[in-house]
Amino acid sequence: MSGSLQRANFADVSTSFVFAAADNYSVTAKSIIAALANHTIYVQRLTVSVTTDNAATQTFEDTAGTPVPIAVTKASPGTVTIEWDFGPNGVALTEGKGLEMKSSAAGLAAAVAVTAYRKKTAVTSLSPNN
């Protein structure tokens, strides 16, 4: 199934945002896509367009107790566009967890675009009314 069909058949949770050089996500991560119980987020593409360079890294990870990173920028990447393409099915985050960005320090500014979808992955059961 193509990437656009995945987003058409499941919940499209794609988003974009801009962060400034003064924004410091080294202590508290920036929430990008909220978690939803019994669902998994699949990130298909992640684009970071750096507008102000700095010796700081940006880590994109799930919101698990021990976060699982899916992409990390290098320190001092230059004013470039960095893209990670995870294919039409995407890379799965931990079930029931969201997507966040954590910085090593303030100073880097960029526009971020995330192409992603969410689908129900946990089996839930219904119990009859008594």
Q: Kindly report the CA angle at 29 between 18 and 98, in degrees rounded to 5?
A: 90
Please state, in angstroms and rounded to a whole number, the distance separating the CA atoms of residues 41 and 34. Answer: 9
Count CB neighbours of 64 within 10 A.
Answer: 14
User: What percent of the chain clears pLDDT 70, i.e. is strictly above it?
Assistant: 92
What the chain holds in terms of domains, given with CATH numbers, is: 3-120 (2.60.120.340)
The residue among 36, 26, 28, 27 whose CA lies nearest residue 103 is: 26
Residue-level pLDDT at 59: 97
The tens digit of pLDDT for each residue in 18-56 reads 999 999 999 899 999 999 999 999 999 999 999 999 999
Rounded to two decimals, what is the model's pTM?
0.89
**Over 70: is that where the pLDDT of 124 sits?**
no
Q: Using the Cα atoms of residue 7, residue 13, residue 16 and residue 22 in order, give the sign of their dihedral.
A: negative
The residue among 25, 18, 62 whose CA lies nearest residue 42 is: 62
Tokens 């009314």 found at: 129
Residue-level pLDDT at 85: 98
